[in-house]
Amino acid sequence: MAGFRELRQRMIDYQLLARGLSDQTVLDAVNAVPREEFVPGELVEFAYNDTPLPIAANQTISQPYIVALMTAELELKPGDRVLEIGTGSGYAAAVLAEIAGQVYTVERIKSLADTARKKLEELGYGSIRVLHGDGSLGWPEHAPYDAIVVAASGPKIPETLKQQLAIGGRLVLPVGTSLHTQTLLRVRRISKDTYQQEDLGGVCFVPLIGAAGWEDKTG
């Protein structure tokens, strides 16, 4: 079997480059992060497959292409302050941290937040701050953000997140009333009260649970 470094390069060649994702900064960031460290032990052989994988608490780690695509659409620059909603395994936060200056990430499930925080610290990602809380409300203490990315789908764009964007900031998130297919949007804050919205295509994400998302029906 090929080693993880070789599998990672194949993923970049056949899943990212072959599908038109050519942002070298993002490709380098993906190449720097060991995805195998963020998937359950029994699934490491599938770490670089072009598919989401199950993690704890009935959540998923997004497929590598989607993580890379959303990162590219954020148009990150070194030194940017980034907010991620939906930490999950911590993988996407690590990719973001390879480019941005400071990454803040919010996870509503405490066990996932704790596990991701520990894993990110182990791997040396000291610039990432992990919060256990309602991600649909953002993390206002550290706003404004140059970029916000949401790894779960809500029925509409949370106003709370739009307000935490810096002028010129970019918000990338899936939105839709169906739990099976949503639209990936990029929202750019032009001025205090003006936002520009772009459709980036169809996607499928787990639901965004919280005050500005879907109601939690599990409890």
Q: Which residues are catalytic?
A: 62
- Print burial letters for 81-101: b (CB count within 10 Å at least 16), e (below 16): bbbbbbbbbbbbbbbbbbbbe
164 neighbors 97 (Cβ within 8 angstroms): no
The SS3 call for residue 99 is: coil
Amino acid at the residue 125:
Y
Cβ neighbours of 114 (radius 10 Å):
13
Could you tell me the two tokens for 38?
A: 């963020």
